[in-house]
């Protein structure tokens, strides 16, 4: 009985992960997710905007915030393609992630297409999207 419950649950999670489009062409966003109660929006936005101005001025990125249940999403938009956003992602991991405020708190960082972001925000499926991200974007 327990194994069938797990199987159904697993199928449900897998079905949610399959909601995301495997078409990774087109505009992308870089997203940082953290718990809203930590009140990190200003330090996160400040760090990202400084990084964007010094390292990625040519993209003319804008930073915005959205609430998602008990979490806050800070996004840098808009990258023209997967290649440019992944360059940003790896540079973020190397330069910003080890520094404050990122080093002192738990964050989730990922990139996402504009179309998949709409699905992600509607379904609120953070864990499922992170699984999709790992499979679809990581080297």
Q: Give the tens place of pLDDT for each residue, 5-48.
A: 333 344 455 555 578 999 999 999 999 999 999 999 999 999 99
What CA–CA distances, in Å, run from 36 to 4, 40, 80, 97? 36, 7, 29, 18
Write down the domain spans for the chain.
23-137
Kindly list the strands in the beta sheet with 71-79, ordered across the sheet, starting from the edge strand earlier in the chain. 62-68, 71-79, 28-35, 108-113
Give 23-137's CATH code, choosing from 1.10.10, 3.30.70, 1.10.620, 3.40.50.
3.30.70
* The pLDDT of residue 12: 55
* The pLDDT of residue 9: 43
Reported pTM: 0.86
> What does the pLDDT look like over 64-95, one tens digit per residue?
999 999 999 999 999 999 999 999 999 999 99
């Amino acid at each position: 009985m327990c194994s069938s419950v797990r199987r159904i649950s697993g199928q449900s999670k897998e079905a949610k992960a399959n909601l995301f489009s495997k078409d990774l062409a087109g505009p992308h966003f870089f997203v940082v997710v953290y718990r809203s109660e930590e009140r990190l929006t200003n330090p996160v936005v400040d760090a990202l905007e400084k990084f964007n101005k010094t390292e990625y001025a040519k993209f003319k990125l804008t930073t915005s915030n959205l609430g998602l249940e008990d979490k806050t999403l800070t996004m840098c938009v808009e990258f023209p393609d997967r290649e440019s956003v992944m360059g940003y992602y790896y540079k973020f991991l190397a330069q910003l992630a080890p520094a404050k405020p990122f080093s002192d708190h738990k964050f989730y960082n990922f990139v996402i297409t504009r179309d998949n972001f709409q699905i992600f925000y509607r379904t609120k499926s953070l864990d499922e999207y992170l699984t999709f991200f790992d499979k679809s974007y990581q080297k």
